[in-house]
Structure 1
Amino acid sequence: MPPSDARTGTSTNTGIGSGPGPGPGPGSTPPSGGAAEDTLDLRLSEELVAMFGGSDAVTATPPGAGTPPGAGIPAGDLLDTPAGWGPVTTPAGVFQLVPVRIERDLELITRWMNDPAVAAFWELAGTEDVTAAHLRLQLDGDGRSVPFLGVLGGTPMSYWELYRADLDPLARHYPARPHDTGIHLLLGGVADRGRGVGTTLLRAVADLVLDHRPRCGRVIAEPDLRNTPSVSAFLSAGFRYTAEVDLPDKRAALMVRERAFRDLM
């Protein structure tokens, strides 16, 4: 899983699991049950087959095990270069995803991570070294997960991670489809929490993904089941609650926004 946990602000969590680092990682054992079996049986696109070097390799090495999926693919290609997607106008104001730069953004993101309401789900409280290590896992990776600042009306106010859920260890825990794209989010400012900003921006970013990633049919999120405000925010943003999934560090609500229903929800 990409950098674990994602949370929309105080209690509007939008992420996977808890704890720093890229989720359970290679070699983690999937839970028993149909979800993992469905994942291993998913029909793979030609792109995914090519990444693994052939269909036999894909069957033998599901996402999260052995050689990292997407190894050798230029950074940005796996997510269709979201750094170039540009700003969008939302009911909350003009919003843009800006790629994280450690030398510019580390102090701000570290401060957000040390907010007790955020730390309760991200579990990345600590010095700047803790935050920097979490960011470098993505910035130095193969492009499967990319961190961003969310800039609203010219002000950085949120932290985002976009990631390829189908190329992530998460894919062992649900029936993944090629190009599924995951979202993690936290709102940095207390003033932006609890008044619908998270819902507005979740919808906007999900729409950005679907607009700019034509091969992606679904946007995925997995907030902690205990974080009911987060689940509610996703529902209000057009996501559907589809299942409960047991991840290595939490029980999560699998939230899905499907391209086919985006105009209906």
Structure 2
Amino acid sequence: MPFDAASTPLSLPRWHSLQGDETGSRLSLTLEGRPLIQVRLVPADPVQVHLETVCPDRGAQALWAACYWLLSRDPACQRLAWHVPKAPAWVPSLLASGLLVPSEQAHVLICERALFWQLPQPWLGEVQSGVYPQQMQISNGKRHPRRPPKPRGEVYRRFDVRLGAWVSLRTLEVEQDLARFNRWQNEPRVAHFWQEQGSLEQHREYLSKLEADPHTLTLIGCFDDEPFAYFEAYWAKEDRIAPFYPADDYDRGIHMLVGEQAHRGPHKVASWMSALVHYLFLDDPRTQRVVAEPRADNGKMIGYMHDQCFHCDKEFDFPHKRAALMILGRERFFDRCTLV
């Protein structure tokens, strides 16, 4: 299982291989042949995890790795009860981060699944030292927070245990991705719903406008670094969707396009859609909802979104289509979160 215990909070993850050996009630993890942590597991609700040995100079990272291992192998596992005698020096940092929370029992700390998946590292390639400061402004008659500068490069990476593959998101680069975007938009299957078929120059203009628009971020989705999809993530408050529902200041919206036939199907959708939503909730902790407005007759996509816990709030009419308003709240996404 890929993991890098040496990454610092502000560095890009350098993914190595984490190996586990479970014999009887004991789980031992090693990183590149070096012992990392050993725990004794007692089945219960929550699972009781007794810390036995830990790499002395990587205590915090080792405990994170064990949490990741145990939560990833069992999506139904909601919490872990860590028995940590003597309170090592690295425990306060884990309490401060939210990886661990206190319990009423002495020397027992809890790892909550809903908190674990809200930690920004190592999923995000870059983590700023805090949320972007808020300053309200008005653009095109809409009052909204000033948006942060757009990122460049890879913004999200996670190993999907079910697929046995990396799912990642990077920002679109017009010159690098124009031909690919043009090919995807001219696929009849895509054109039916997007209605953006056209020439290379038309698509260059389309993407260049979005690149200059502070409220929209264009992304390329990849499996094992192979591009397969195009996504637009937008701030809903200043988008065309805002008049149709009470948009909050930090709601994000998404447009989705899978361009490569080989990466279609429910199992792939479950991976990339959860990754996209996960990224948007991690990108700014003030984001409480992710919304989408697929065509109301796109039953397949709406069904996929229901599978990922979106709900259909209503149908409404844009000038160019009848749309379904799909909404997924932050609390619902992370509560009993099925990420692995």
TM-score normalised over the length of structure 2: 0.55
> Retained in 2: the 8 A contact 1:173–1:247?
no
Three-state SS of the structure 2 residue aligned to 1:138 is: helix
Q: 1:176 to 1:184 in 2, by over 3 A?
A: same
Distance 1:88 1:232 in 2: 24
User: Shift in Å at residue 224 of structure 1?
Assistant: 0.6
SS of equivalent residue, structure 2 residue 328: strand
Structure 1 CA distance for aligned equivalents of residues 170 and 224 of structure 2: 13
Name the residue aligned to 1:88: 158
> For residues 155-170 of structure 1, what are the structure 2 equivalents within 5 Å?
155-170=226-241
How far does residue 95 in structure 1 lie from its aligned partner after superposition? 1.4
1:205 is displaced (CA, Å) by 1.1
SS of equivalent residue, structure 1 residue 85: strand
Cα pair distance change 1:124/1:242, threshold 3 Å: same
Distance 2:266 2:141 in 1: 44
Q: How far apart are 1:153 and its partner, in Å?
A: 0.7
In the alignment, which residue of structure 2 is the partner of 1:125? 197
Distance 1:70 1:213, change over 3 A: closer
Cα distance in 2 for partners of 1:82, 1:203 equals: 21
Provide the rounded CA distance (Å) in 1 between the counterparts of 2:227 and 2:325: 28
Does structure 2 retain, via aligned residues, the 8 Å contact 1:222–1:253?
yes
TM-score by length of 1: 0.70
Q: Distance in 1 between matches of 2:318 and 2:227?
A: 31
Counterpart Cα distance in 2 of 1:167 and 1:83: 24
Distance 1:74 1:206, change over 3 A: closer
Tell me how far apart the structure 2 counterparts of residues 218 and 229 of structure 1 sit (CA, whole Å).
22
**Which position in structure 2 is the counterpart of 1:236?**
307
CA distance in 2, matches of 1:154, 1:165: 29
Q: Secondary structure at the match of 1:242?
A: strand
> Number of residue pairs matched?
202
CA RMSD between the two structures: 2.2
Instruction: Kindly provide the amino acid, as one letter, of the partner of residue 125 in structure 1.
Output: Q
Q: Which runs of 5 or more residues in structure 1 are unaligned?
A: 1-45, 53-62
**Structure 1 letter corresponding to 2:149:** A
Could you say which structure has the greater relative contact order, defined with CA pairs below 8 angstroms and 6 or more residues apart? 1
Please state whether the residue corresponding to 1:169 is helix, strand or coil.
coil
Out of 103, 108, 115, which is 2:180 matched to?
108
Any conservation in 2 of the 1:180–1:217 contact (CA below 8 Å)?
yes
Q: Give yes or no for contact 1:70–1:144 (8 Å, CA) kept in 2.
A: no
The whole-number CA distance in structure 2 between the counterparts of 1:232 and 1:83 is 31
Q: Which runs of 5+ in 2 are unaligned?
A: 1-132
Aligned runs of 1:204-215 on 2, under 5 Å? 204-215=275-286
Identical residues among aligned pairs (%): 28
Amino acid aligned to 1:75: P
Residues in 2 aligned to 1:114 and 1:68: alpha-carbon distance in whole angstroms: 36
The structure richer in strand per residue is: 2
1:107-153 Cα deviation digits (max 9, x unpaired)? 11100001000011111112111211111111122x21011111111
* 1:200, distance to aligned residue in structure 2 (A): 2.2
1:113 and 1:125 in contact (8 A); partners too: yes
Taking structure 1 as reference, are residues 74 and 238 closer, same or farther at Cα in structure 2, changes over 3 Å only? closer
Q: Does structure 1 residue 135 correspond to structure 2 residue 210?
A: no
Alpha-carbon shift at residue 236 of structure 1 (Å): 0.8
Residue 75 of structure 1: aligned partner: 149
Answer 1 or 2: which has greater helix percent.
1
Distance 1:213 1:74, change over 3 A: closer
Structure 1 partner of 2:137: 51
User: For residues 65-114 of structure 1, what are the alpha-carbon distances to aligned partners after superposition, in whole Å with 9 as ceiling and x for unaligned?
Assistant: 4478667x5532xxxx4856331122332111111111111011100001
